[in-house]
Amino acid sequence: MKDFFLAIVVLILFAAVISCNNKNTEKKSDTNSAIQSISTHTDTVIIQGMQFQPAKLTINSGDTVLWINKDIVTHNVTEDTAQTWTSGDIVVDSSWRLVPKNDFNYLCSIHPTMKGSVTINK
Amino acid sequence: MRNLFKYLTQWGVGIIAFVTLFSLNTTAKETVKLTDPEIASVAVTANQIDVKYGEIALKKSKNAEVRKFAETMVNDHNSIIKQATDLAKKLGVTPKDNPVSQSLVKGEKEIIAKFSKLSGNAFDKAYIANEVAYHEAVIKTVKDVLIPQTQNSQLKDLLVKASPLLEHHLEMAKEAKAKVK
């Protein structure tokens, strides 16, 4: 009888673990299509003084780019050519990350003179 | 209409002249200098005024360019107000009324009275023209009076950080002015 209850407990725990994994997968798939799984290396762009620093960033394929807003107002990261995607608002002292698949130019659509680019090493 | 633009230009020049005179006087150490509580008052007042102008534009204008600019002004200046008031609270500083903030409020009342008589394209032009003049005046005040006289390093840092934003707003206003015909 003890073995039976132990088996039930193990089954319940196993089901719970599977359920958690599914939730995590769903959360990842909800994000922007430009975002891939989290890579091991992160390149940081600081938003400060109405500038992206560095404005021109070169990364290795699979790297994560992290934008941190250290400015005094809300900014965003928006693809520049056709504005196909945007980070949405990055409020003061918050950040947004992306694993780029391709090179792109971007701007802050709130303050359009703020521009930057990301180039992936080939 | 010509009279309004003339008025707006004169008001902008008037503020700059006031600030310049004030700067010269303070350099000569013959007049009252602004204290940190007074500087906090000027900073908050200047931002509140531009929020007010933006809110009026959002009520009166149907021009997409003008509305987008006004929305940015309201959001950005509200953000600065929040940081300035949070910092003042943290430092235990109570903003204190003074001749510079009084001058700003006087100008605000006169501009709002002029705005109330305008609508449509005439309002759009007047609002954007005022934004150019106002930002030029405020940038000069911040650089020539507020930053040099601020004693507290955190308050000075906030004013220094606000300068590129104000310069950016001025460029946005000039671009909008060129588009609003």
* Residue with token string 């922007």: A32
Residue-range definition of the domain harbouring residue A29:
1-39
Average pLDDT score over residue span A57-70: 97
pTM of the model: 0.77
Q: Decide if A55 touches B, using CB distance below 8 A.
A: no
Contacts of A35 (CB under 8 A, 6+ apart): A28, A97, A98, A99
Report CB contact under 8 Å: B165, A50.
Answer: yes
Q: Decide if A93 touches B, using CB distance below 8 A.
A: no
> For chain B, how far is it from start to end, CA to CA, in angstroms?
13
What are B101's two structure tokens? 């903030």
pLDDT digits (tens, 9 = 90+) for A15-43: 444 343 333 333 333 344 445 445 579 99
Residues A60 and A97 in one domain: yes
ipTM value for the complex: 0.78
Determine what percent of chain A is predicted with pLDDT higher than 90: 63
Task: Give A105's pLDDT tier (boundaries 50, 70, 90).
Answer: very high
Residues A63 and A112 in one domain: yes
Residues A35 and A46 in one domain: no
Residues A47 and A107 in one domain: yes
Min Cα–Cα distance to chain B from A119, Å: 26
Q: Decide if A74 touches B, using CB distance below 8 A.
A: yes
Q: What is the pLDDT of residue B37?
A: 95
Residues A1 and A30 in one domain: yes
Number of domains in chain A: 2
CATH (domain of A105): 2.60.40.420
- What CA–CA distance (Å, rounded) separates B159 from B153? 10
- Report the relative pairing of strands A104-107 and A115-120 from DSSP bridges: antiparallel
Report CB contact under 8 Å: A74, B167.
Answer: no
pLDDT digits (tens, 9 = 90+) for B60-102: 999 999 999 999 999 999 999 999 999 999 999 899 999 989 9
DSSP result, chain A:
-HHHHHHHHHHHHHHHHHHHHHHHHHHHHHS-TT--S--S-EEEEEEETTEEESSEEEE-TT-EEEEEE-SSS-B--EESSS---B---B-TT-EEEE--SS-EEEE-SSSTT-EEEEEE--
Q: Decide if A117 touches B, using CB distance below 8 A.
A: no
> Which residues share a beta bridge with A106?
A79, A116
Residues A27 and A86 in one domain: no
Residues A23 and A57 in one domain: no
